[in-house]
Amino acid sequence: MNIDNLVNELTPIKGDFNDLSKFDFPGVYIIYDGNDEIVYIGSAYTRNISERLKQYISKSKSGNTLANDICKLDFKVEKTDAISNEQREKALKKIRKFKILAIRHNDLEYNLIQQYKPKYNLNGKTATKK
């Protein structure tokens, strides 16, 4: 399985953090940086993807695993509670530049994380640190 095959088999929705309304459905989302590198894979099955993505651009520390993981890797912060407001703002600025590909599907997240090992998927049994 690879993302190119998924794109051909399913109808993914592409976008960014500037317009999350197009992601009002449950499924899997893939976040890319400016170099088209997959940096995060997540899912939202009990709510819409747009609701989950809104957490990533929120200033709240609660539920923003992406900003926390960016701070841990990029700014070498060891613990979430040690992240400064300046570091969090830099992470949020970085997130707002990411691109998103979302797919209506119920079981892709685990397989995609195992295959691509995105650098910001630090939590859970499926993630690996580089």
CATH number at residue 17: 3.40.1440
Does residue 130 carry a pLDDT above 60? no
Contacts of 53 (CB under 8 A, 6+ apart): 17, 20, 23, 29, 100
> Model confidence over 92-122: pLDDT tens digits?
999 999 999 998 876 667 677 777 888 888 7
Please classify residue 105 by burial: count the beta carbons closer than 10 Å to its beta carbon, then call 0-12 exposed, 13-18 middle and 19+ buried: middle
Range from 29-33, 59-63, 72-76, 115-119 carrying the lowest mean pLDDT? 59-63
Please classify residue 75 by burial: count the beta carbons closer than 10 Å to its beta carbon, then call 0-12 exposed, 13-18 middle and 19+ buried: middle
Whether 37 is in a domain gets the answer: yes
Whether 35 is in a domain gets the answer: yes
81 DSSP 8-state letter = G
Does residue 58 carry a pLDDT above 70? yes
What whole-number distance in Å separates Cα of residue 109 and Cα of residue 18? 23
Instruction: Tell me if the pTM is above 0.85.
Output: no
Residue 47 CA, chain-centre distance (Å), reads: 15
Whether 19 is in a domain gets the answer: yes
